[in-house]
Amino acid sequence: MNKAFFYLSFILMSTLSPLLALGVDKATIHTEKIILGSGCFWGAEKGYESLAGVTSAVSGYADGDGVSPIYTEITKLKNKFNMKNHAEVVEVTYNKNIISVRDLLMHYFESHDPTQVNRQGNDIGTQYRSIILYTNNEQKLAVEETVSAYQKLLSDAGYGKVATQIKPIKAFYKAETYHQDYIKKNPNGYCPDHSTGIKFSRTDKPTIFDNSKLSKGKHIVVIDAKGYCPYCEKFKSQVIKNYSGDIPLVFRFADQLSELEIDSPTWATPTILFLQDGKEFFGHQGYMTSKDFYRALGYFKLGDSDAYKVAFEEGTDPRYCEQYELFKNTPDGIFVDKISGSPLFDTKDRFNSASGWLSFTQPITGSVYTKSDNRFGMQRTEIRSVVSDIHLGHVFSDGPNGLNRYCINATVLEFKKRADTSLNKKINDEIKIE
């Protein structure tokens, strides 16, 4: 992780709303748990951890009654054929945006022999029974459909009936520490393969999403949900609906991030990622208010510059600054918000006030709002952008012909020739799932 990431994180954590400083908030969580037993949990745990979309795999015990959920108890001779003994299982937590429960179950059935009863190969006893403990009805339906499909494949190959027990989960007990990641810690440890060799037919090949356009320059990626996500819809309608800035913003699903270097977890939507040359510069899980989003975007674009301080810390450009000299005599066109790209002022309303700051008689209708500014012992009226809420300057009543004078900081503006701009408020063409 580079220094810029930590510095940006520090700035955001200390200056934005508490939302950014807390854990995941106002987000749709796309992780679920399912408990799978297929014999010895050591190798099974390793197998699940290798699957894209599995966020954790924890070895443990479940489905017992009257037997202490500890290894020394379930392995006692008296419990070897005890039907109330616990089974060795793995609690699998997975991101539904990346791997479906059906894909997970296909791996499960292919990795052991579900026709064997209370054993897997030479591992004999009720602790080794094939069992699935589901957490919701959607999982239950997927289990039943997958069992039915695999049973046909097994029967065609001469195998018997699937003996896998299917139940709702009641309790899961995490196994002792030495059992966790056992194969990782002991690469040559016991890990037999008891699979039947019967494979599901996978007609859908994994799609490698082309993100080459995101490998150069700055981009904003919003991780969206494949299903309904109220916070995603709120973010679209209340935050980025009017975004038309020059940093492209695109939507992606969690399984469409190939070739990108992402550090943030992808199981919550929306997740907003700021990328520099295909690498995550900063990420936030969950809904961001408009004010928080544009402040984060402002720092991402401007860094710790004078323009950032003017926009977000109510600073002021020096008189006759370099940007003023560039903007005072531009061709016909529109001045836009440097962060959001929203139109603010028209050159038709620009005049030379000899003040050293850009001056306009009026803003574009609906583009700014005013608020009282009594700092520094003065009574002034501040001008702020409606879309990004950045500080633009102040308005005074001493304009030409009795009109107002909007005194605006040039460093928070960008200029667009009239032929290159549209005043229609719309989402940037880049804001889409490509």
Question: 283 has which bridge partners?
Answer: 273
Same domain for 235 and 125?
Answer: no
pLDDT at 431: 47
Report yes or no on 20 lying in a domain.
Answer: no
Q: What is the mean pLDDT of the chain?
A: 90
Tell me: do 180 and 217 sit in the same domain. no
- Asked whether residue 323 is assigned to any structural domain, the reply reads yes
Q: Is residue 193 part of a domain?
A: no
Q: How confident is the model at residue 15 (pLDDT cuts 50, 70, 90)?
A: very low
Instruction: Give the model's pLDDT for residue 410.
Output: 97
pLDDT-based confidence at residue 7 (cuts at 50, 70, 90): very low
Question: Are residues 337 and 402 both part of a single domain?
Answer: yes
Same domain, 152 and 130: yes
229 is catalytic: no
- State percent of the chain over pLDDT 90: 81
Same domain? For 138 and 280 the reply is: no
- Domain check: are 84 and 162 in the same one? yes
Domain boundary among 284, 303, 322: 303
Alpha-carbon gap, residue 397 to 405, rounded angstroms: 6
Look at residues 303, 327, 359 and tell me which one is the last residue of a structural domain.
303
Note whether 313 and 297 are same-domain residues: no
Q: Bridge-partner residues for 91, per DSSP?
A: 35, 58
Confidence of residue 224 (pLDDT cuts 50, 70, 90): very high
pTM to 2 decimal places: 0.78
pLDDT in tens, 241-284: 999 999 999 999 999 999 999 999 999 999 999 999 999 999 99
Rounded CA gap, 293 and 238, in Å?
Answer: 11
Q: Peptide bond before 270: cis, by omega within 30 degrees of 0?
A: yes
Confidence of residue 421 (pLDDT cuts 50, 70, 90): low
Do residue 277 and residue 413 come from a single domain?
no
Last residue in a domain, options 151, 185, 219: 185
Same domain, 221 and 271: yes
Closest CA to 344 of 249, 428, 430, 410: 410
**Nearest alpha-carbon partner for 190 in 123, 238, 245, 236:** 123
**Residue 165 belongs to a domain:** yes
Read off the CATH number of the domain in which 82 is found: 3.30.1060.10
Evaluate whether residue 428 is within a structural domain. Answer: no
Q: Average the pLDDT over 396-413 and give the result.
A: 96
* Catalytic-role residue among 40, 229, 232, 407: 40
In a domain, 267, yes or no: yes
Task: Write out pLDDT tens, residues 107-161.
Answer: 999 999 999 999 999 999 999 999 999 999 999 999 999 999 999 999 999 999 9
Q: Give the pLDDT score at 24.
A: 64
Q: Could you read off the pLDDT of 368-395 as tens digits, one per residue?
A: 999 998 887 888 999 999 999 999 999 9
Whole-angstrom distance, CA of residue 249 vs CA of residue 219: 6
Give the position of tokens 């479940």.
Answer: 62
Instruction: For residue 343, count CB atoms less than 10 angstroms from its CB and return exposed for 0-12, middle for 13-18, buried for 19 or more.
Output: buried
Asked if residue 409 is part of any domain, the answer here is yes
d(CA 164, CA 161): 9
Range of the domain at 292: 209-303
| Residue 21, pLDDT score | 38
Total tally of structural domains belonging to the chain: 3
Q: Could you tell me if 242 and 322 lie in one domain? A: no
In a domain, 43, yes or no: yes
Q: What is the pLDDT of residue 181?
A: 94
56/42 Cα distance (integer angstroms): 14
Q: Residue 287 maps to which CATH number?
A: 3.40.30.10
Pair 333, 217 in one domain: no
Q: Which pLDDT value is given to residue 377?
A: 81
Q: 409: domain CATH number?
A: 2.170.150.20
Per-residue pLDDT averaged across 72-77, rounded? 96
Same-domain check for residues 43 and 148: yes
